[in-house]
Structure 1
């Protein structure tokens, strides 16, 4: 099963290294990671470029919208069996997070899965 992880970004900030570390710790690592960045001026793109299987696409910030930007990323991974969307501040809670999401797709009647989302400390 081919897995793609997509993360739209813009100046991802102080949590970004934690997000990337959590991805690196996964027991099932995505076949492709796509970061679609909207003109970050911080270290968002350089930090992500160290990830295995990473593709980084840049768009102008004026062209960003939540649905369209994600659809643009999906169009770059049409061979994926499973696509996982994260936000730039979503830290995977444990090393089996991707494994647990993908597990349900062994049932051909399952078309979508959503993981539990908890706010991080000091979330606003």
Structure 2
């Protein structure tokens, strides 16, 4: 099963290294990671470039929108069996997070699965 993880980014900030570390620790690592960046001026792109299986695409910040940007990334991974969307401040809870999401796709009637995102201690409502 081919797994792609997609993360739209823009100046991901201080949580970004934690997000990347959590991805690196996964027991099932994605076959492809796509970061679609909207003109970050911080270290978002350089930090992401260290990930295995990474593809980074840049778009102008004025072209960003939540649905269209994700669809643009999906178009770059049409061979994926499973696509996981993550936000730049969502830290995977444990090393089995991707494994737990993908598990449900062994059932042929399952078309979508979602995880729960818990706010981090500095989250802004």
TM tier relative to shorter chain: over 0.9
Name segments (4+ residues, structure 1) moved above 3 Å. Answer: none
Structure 2 residues without counterparts, runs of 5 or longer: none
Deviation digits for residues 36-57 of structure 1 (CA, Å, limit 9, x no counterpart):
0000000000000000000000
RMSD, aligned CA: 0.3
Structure 1 residues without counterparts, runs of 5 or longer: none
Deviation digits for residues 67-91 of structure 1 (CA, Å, limit 9, x no counterpart):
0000000000000000000000000
Give, in whole Å, the separation in 2 of the partners of 1:77 and 1:32: 8
TM-score, length of structure 2 as denominator length: 0.99
Structure 1 position 116, deviation (Å): 1.3
TM-score, length of structure 1 as denominator length: 1.00
Secondary structure of 1:109's aligned partner: coil
Aligned twin of 1:98: 98
Secondary structure of 1:57's aligned partner: strand
Secondary structure of 1:71's aligned partner: helix
- After superposition, residues 1-124 of structure 1 pair within 5 angstroms as 1-124=1-124
